[in-house]
Amino acid sequence: MNRIAVTSEGPSLDDQIDPRFGRAAGFVVVDLASMDTDYIDNGQSQVMAQGAGIQAAELVTRAGVSCLLTGYVGPKAFQALSAAGIKVGQNLEGLTVRQAVERFKSGQVEMAQAANRTGR
């Protein structure tokens, strides 16, 4: 079963991608075969003074996904996701979750080699 996580402003496939990873509203976890979804709320990371990206990485790691689709990822979060063996597709802001997943399935999302945001 291949599952991927997408940062999202809401719980459904038709919600907009939340461009932020660490402080995203939540993650839509999509089963690529069935297109079934689960939603993980990320409110607990949004309110953190620091370490939101690391905690968000813990959450998606626990969800057992192989890949994350999002807008921007900072350096600590990227390091954490890499450690967890989760590939990252970034710069996908402006799409809905469904559009991003379709793009990923058609092989048009390149996997990132590095963070695309600088840390604080």
Partner 1 sequence: MIVAVASGKGGTGKTTVAASLATVWDGPVLGVDLDVEEPNLHLFLQPVITGSEMAHMMVPAVEEAKCTYCGACSELCQFKAISVFNQVILTFPEMCHGCGGCMAICPEKAISSGQRELGEISWGRAGDVGFLAGKLRIGEAMSPPLMRLVKIRLDVMLAAEGGDAIIDAPPGVSCPAVNAVLDSDVILLVTEPTPFGVYDFILAWEAFAPLGKPMGAVINRAGLGNDAIYRFCREKGLPILAEIPYDRAIAEAYARGRVIADLSAELKETFISLRDRIRDLTKPSQPQKAAHA
How near is the Cβ of 50 to partner 1 at its closest, in Å? 6
Round to the nearest angstrom and report the end-to-end CA distance of the chain. 36
How near is the Cβ of 2 to partner 1 at its closest, in Å? 17
Q: Closest Cα partner for 55 from 63, 46, 64, 65? A: 46
How near is the Cβ of 45 to partner 1 at its closest, in Å? 9
Per CB under 8 A, residues contacting partner 1 are 48-52, 54-55, 57-58, 61, 76, 79-80, 83-85
Q: Which CB atom, from 17 or from 76, has the smaller least distance to partner 1?
A: 76
Q: Closest Cα partner for 41 from 68, 55, 93? A: 55
How far apart are alpha carbons 60 and 62 in whole angstroms?
Answer: 5
Q: Which CB atom, from 59 or from 95, has the smaller least distance to partner 1?
A: 59
SS3 80: helix
How far apart are alpha carbons 104 and 43 in whole angstroms?
Answer: 26
| Token couple for 17 | 């991608």
Q: Which CB atom, from 61 or from 99, has the smaller least distance to partner 1?
A: 61
Q: Which CB atom, from 48 or from 95, has the smaller least distance to partner 1?
A: 48
How near is the Cβ of 54 to partner 1 at its closest, in Å? 4
